[in-house]
Amino acid sequence: MQLLTLKGTNLNTTVYRGFASIKDIAAISAPDTENQDKNPDGLQRNLSLEHARKGYNYAEDAHKDPDRRRLWPEVILNIRDRSVIDEPVPVDKQHNLFKIVVHEDRIDKNRPRPQISRTDGNHRLFYGEGHPKYNWPALDVPTPFAITMGLEIPQETDIFVDINHNQRAMDTSHLLHLQTRLTTSEALAGKNPALWIAEELIKDSKSPFHGIVYLGGEKEKVQGLERRVNLAQLRTGSEMILKESPKLRGVPDLRNKYIIIRTYWNAVARVFSEQWADQKKYLLLRGFGIWCMSLLGAEIIDRCFNRGIPPNQLENEMAAYLSQTSRDVNWDRKEGNITHKGGRVGARELADIMKMSLSDESVDMGNFIRDLKSLY
């Protein structure tokens, strides 16, 4: 196999960069997967087959849907065993063009450690040669690559760590918002209902989340409002309500579900108005708080359905239920009673506590029992 490359320096490391079909790059390389017993000094994490399948499908669809532009970063290979190649031959020395000849017959993929290692890009290359079980053909699709020559394993490990850990991960809210911009509202509603609901809560001027949700990108105050909630947390909260409320799942049309959820959040903002307005002092609009109130909301929505509450009374009834729980939680960041809780598990624990105070009777049974104890 012959690879035409451009020789250069990436920061302080010599690399040979070029393009070749995914199937060819996959054929000559292999991962150096860490195994505590057999290969304790390996680089690669345990393979995610789902991640690898997504990489294959993304590349395969490049030919199926040419109007949808696709690309990915170059895969990085390190030639550990230089006996499998000839020394790079200059083709145009003035422009740093070099030819690398790889002798495929010298590559033994049964070795415990690869002769040409996949420093980065293993998931993208894993199914590059196809897969007989799934009847997947080899990927004859071009990919960019960068080849390093003879890096010692500790040096290669440094690069692997830099790529996979030290670089700052992309903000989830930003990625979700970009997804909504690339998808029509109708398609998003069908594909990702929770994200559609979260986006509607942001855009809708009748929603208490209007103008206070961070979508990624540069943070700033807009018209005096600070972005206090992020899109990813709100999307997860919407997922929780949809999943936890059997009655809501039975409502036809996602738009109707959205109106009910928006009504609930308006009730929350009304009952907990002080906490809603001051995120610096209170935890209500942190991810934990959003998730807790979403789980509680599913219960309240179902109770309203069971009692046949008409739409024009829905917000008031929801607010009445929420008022029953107001004594359970002190959302204050410093002096509250929930500062030790956090995450989804903590959100569910707190929601379960708050649900115990809910009563469908005219008497607020939870508060009644608490007040009764003062007479003991």
- pLDDT at residue 209, as a whole number: 94
Alpha carbon distance 102, 121 (integer Å): 19
Predicted structure pTM score: 0.63
33 phi/psi in degrees, rounded to 5: -80, 130
* pLDDT-based confidence at residue 224 (cuts at 50, 70, 90): very low
Residue that wins the pLDDT comparison between 154 and 38:
154
pLDDT score recorded for residue 133: 84
- Asked if the model's pLDDT at residue 160 lies above 90, the reply is no
Give 146-208 as a DSSP string. EEEES--HHHHHHHHHIIIIISPPPPHHHHHHHHHHHS-HHHHHHH-HHHHHHHHHHH-TTST
Boundaries of every domain in the chain:
2-166, 172-375
Residues 320-370 pLDDT 10s: 999 999 888 899 888 888 877 778 899 999 999 999 999 887 545 555 555
pLDDT tens digits, 275-316? 999 888 998 998 889 999 999 999 999 999 999 999 999 999
